[in-house]
Structure 1
Amino acid sequence: MAFDWLNMFHGGMEKEANYAEKTLAAYRLGMRGKGSIVGVRIQKAENCCDAARQLPENQIYHPDEAPRLPLPECSQGRRCSCVYRPVMTYEQANKG
């Protein structure tokens, strides 16, 4: 996968208190700029908490509507390894 290196990098990091706001703002800006981003998806870590397991698989969210990470019920707190990933237009084209 194209983001494998990024997954390993983010997986070991403690999230900043403003991780969700900062990350989603960047993706929102990419969408407004008529770029290739059509939304965001939450990539669950292998060791994700029960709250993350309850999220729908491969759900695409507008950044304004995405659940905030770490999830309030996350047992790992800021050590949560789940991350936001952009959903690109070419991914949507490949599905159809």
Structure 2
Amino acid sequence: MAFEWLSKFEQGTEKEADYAEKKLAAYRLGMKGKGSIVGVMVHTAPDCCEAARQLPDKKVYHPDDAPSLPLSDCPQGRHCGCVYRPAMSYQDPVI
């Protein structure tokens, strides 16, 4: 995975209170620029909660429709290891 190093870094970092807002805004801006970003995916952590395990694997969301991370019922709260990743036009995502 191209973003493996980034996932390891982010999964070990406490999320800021506005993590979802900032990340999704950045991906929304990338999509508006008509580049290679076609949406956002949720990359779940190896120790993710049951709610995160129920999310569809590799589903591509529009940033306006993506679930807010950390999920509201995640017991790890801001220490949740789930992160957003861009869905790129050159990948083969599940839509």
- TM, length-normalised to structure 1: 0.94
Q: In the alignment, which residue of structure 2 is the partner of 1:47?
A: 47
Q: In the alignment, which residue of structure 1 is the partner of 2:88?
A: 88
Note the C-alpha offset of 1:23.
0.2
Q: For 1:1-96, list aligned pairs within 5 A.
A: 1-92=1-92
Cα deviation, 1:1-50, whole Å, max 9, x if unaligned, reads 21111011101100000000000000000000101100000000000001
- Paired AA for residue 19 in structure 2: Y
What is the SS of the residue equivalent to 1:64?
A: coil
- Distance between the aligned counterparts of 2:2 and 2:53, measured in 1? 23
| Number of residues of Structure 1 aligned to a counterpart in Structure 2 | 94
- Distance between the aligned counterparts of 2:58 and 2:3, measured in 1? 15
- Paired AA for residue 53 in structure 1: R
Higher helix share: 1
- Paired AA for residue 18 in structure 1: D
- Distance between the aligned counterparts of 1:33 and 1:70, measured in 2? 27
Note the C-alpha offset of 1:90.
0.4
What is the SS of the residue equivalent to 1:39?
A: strand
- Paired AA for residue 74 in structure 2: C
- Paired AA for residue 33 in structure 1: G
RMSD: 1.4
Identity %: 65
